[in-house]
Amino acid sequence: MFLNANKQEWKHFLTAAEVFWQKNLPPVTDDGVILVEAFHQDIRVTLRNLAVANAIRKIQPARLVVLTGVEEAWATTLWKDFDVSLVRELATAYGASETIDVWDIVRKSDRTPTFDVSANVAATQARLDKVPRLPARPSETRLRYGNALAAFYEEQFRQNVVALVTSHVDYDQWGLAVDVARRSSVPVIHTQQTGCLKAYGLFPEHDSGAGTFREELTRQIGQVFEEQVWPRREKLRPVTELIAWRAKVNLGRPSWWRGGTSASVDLSNAAERAVLRGHAAARFGFDADRPIVAVFNHAVSDALGTNRELFPTLADWFTETAAFAAGHDEAQWLFLDHPSQSLYDSTGFFDGLAKQHRGLKHVQFKPSAAISKNALWSLTDLGVTVRGSVSNELPAYGIPVIQAGWSEWSSCGLSTVVDSTEGYFKTLDESIKAIREGATLVTEEQVQRARLWLWLYRSGSDVVTPQIPQWEVWPVNTLLKTMRATFRHIESDADPLFDTVERMWTRREPLLTRSDLS
């Protein structure tokens, strides 16, 4: 996505950015280094990392070292147009003292690290091969790459590293850097691909080391929510209603990763829902008067094993849930594929499972693109997922959700988060019985908590700064022109980027916030 830029627009942007940062960064006075990941081909991702890194440099002057490059398997699967030379130009404009082509080094290396990388490498191989289950053993090539990567990162972290700023925390090129940063007691700032500027932080003094990066984050976000957001619920109620409306019309990711008219929900009351439910149920061969359970498939090869989950893989969860559904015709079951299924699965997993259960009238497998959110919301009496965004969206509109694992919001009290496989199937069984008896499974408090989470995710922790245009500011030339105007006209002392990053950094808070929640 760098390559799509007009050359003249790219040049103007780089010049404006370079002048701005030359005037707004203090001189480096010690040997401190901030490592910034630039492995993603989307410029919007790298811009977020560089902006946060430079905001930290305003507080703690340090050299900026950018890590980039692309390995052949990543290029084949995802980054088809990656250009290291353009990354170098961008990094230089943001004041980087060095840009390292990591994969150029790793390809030639046979070094090994001080720790076992096999779990991380296995998850990477599953993602690159787009298969739903982990390999019994990673390939020798991937294992060699993983070892060389980890050894390279260990060498980098022998410097006085102030922070690692990264857009991802999973897979070999990102996840191993995060692992080494944690082992080296270095703060990790994890930027997000949504909104303006969102970022999470894991600081060594708050890292128990007992779980993965995402597990630690889940616990810490839950604490912030409970101590700083939930007590403000009445004051925040008016804005949570606005955010709930935005989520209904998909203004921003994720809204179960869909855009356009099929992603909007404009049901206003129970009567409207009932009318549409009857129509949608008939379309799928369901009885509108009986419980309907919607089971949301995941990107089945995505980030396996990176947070707490009840089943060995996302595919195992989906398969065993389908087997349970086959034997429980007291409910009707709608199994939906992931909206980006083809990007994460090369094996036909979803279609294969659908064929196994063909002929069961109470079980339907459908592509998610075949059903609008209006119809989906009207049909669903109970949502089931592992870590999907539906677990915060559905409760916001009064629909209960069961989670067979953790997401970043799982400690915020929005859904029913189960802690064992036995408990999972028991909860499914009990929930269906309760729905048949007319019970309401989602409480008013859960609805309020879910809407507060939507506010925190889409507003409270989304910093509006001219440094980072909204994710939807696209195509690339529009983005560059916007950024060029920003660098030519703003003053750093009026930019929220610097104050908010300073607050997060100095207080060691787990998420960036627009205002002081404490």
Between 77 and 211, whose confidence is greater? 211
Query: 162: closest CA among 67, 66, 283, 31?
Result: 31
pLDDT digits (tens, 9 = 90+) for 360-404: 999 999 998 888 888 888 899 999 999 998 999 899 889 999 999
Judge if 248 and 382 occupy the same domain: yes
Task: Give the C-alpha distances (Å, rounded to integers) separating 411 from 248, 285, 319, 394.
Answer: 23, 37, 26, 16
Is omega for the bond preceding 254 within 30 degrees of 0, making it cis? Answer: yes
267 — pLDDT class (breaks 50, 70, 90): low
Query: What pLDDT is stored for residue 254 in this prediction?
Result: 53
Is omega for the bond preceding 475 within 30 degrees of 0, making it cis? Answer: yes
Judge if 468 and 446 occupy the same domain: no
Judge if 334 and 410 occupy the same domain: yes
Q: Is residue 357 part of a domain?
A: yes
> Rounded distance, CA 333 to CA 69, Å?
45
pLDDT digits (tens, 9 = 90+) for 285-301: 999 999 999 999 999 99
Identity of the amino acid at 374: N
pLDDT digits (tens, 9 = 90+) for 41-88: 899 999 999 999 999 999 999 999 999 999 888 888 777 778 999 999
Judge if 334 and 440 occupy the same domain: yes
Q: Three-class SS of residue 128?
A: helix
Q: Is residue 194 part of a domain?
A: yes
- Label residues 94-122 b or e (16+ Cβ within 10 Å = b): bbbeebbbbbebbeeeeeebeeebebbbb
Q: Is residue 518 part of a domain?
A: no
φ/ψ (deg, to 5) at 243? -65, -40
Judge if 495 and 366 occupy the same domain: no
Q: Is residue 90 part of a domain?
A: yes
The 10 Å Cβ neighbour count of residue 419 is 12
Helix ranges (H only) for 249-313 are 270-283
Poorest-pLDDT segment among 17-26, 362-371, 411-420:
362-371
The answer to whether 258 touches 250, Cβ cutoff 8 Å, is yes
Judge if 430 and 475 occupy the same domain: no
* DSSP 8-state assignment for residue 406: -
> Rounded distance, CA 28 to CA 185, Å?
22
Instruction: Supply 111's token pair.
Output: 């070094």
Between 29 and 203, whose confidence is greater? 203
> Rounded distance, CA 475 to CA 251, Å?
17
Q: Summarize the confidence of residues 479-494 as an average pLDDT.
A: 89
Label the pairing between strands 188-191 and 199-202.
antiparallel
Q: What percent of the chain is predicted at pLDDT more than 70?
A: 95
Which of 458, 479, 495 lies at the terminal end of a domain, its last residue? 458
Q: Summarize the confidence of residues 93-118 as an average pLDDT.
A: 96
Judge if 484 and 410 occupy the same domain: no
Query: What pLDDT is stored for residue 256 in this prediction?
Result: 47
Q: What average pLDDT does the structure give for the chain?
A: 92
Range of 365's domain? 228-458
pLDDT higher than 50, residue 312: yes
251 — pLDDT class (breaks 50, 70, 90): very low
pTM, 2 dp: 0.94
Instruction: Supply 197's token pair.
Output: 């500027």
pLDDT higher than 90, residue 516: yes
pLDDT digits (tens, 9 = 90+) for 123-168: 999 999 999 999 989 999 999 999 999 999 999 999 999 999 999 9
Domain with residue 366: its CATH number is 3.40.50.2000
Domains: count for the chain: 2
Q: Summarize the confidence of residues 408-421 as an average pLDDT.
A: 96
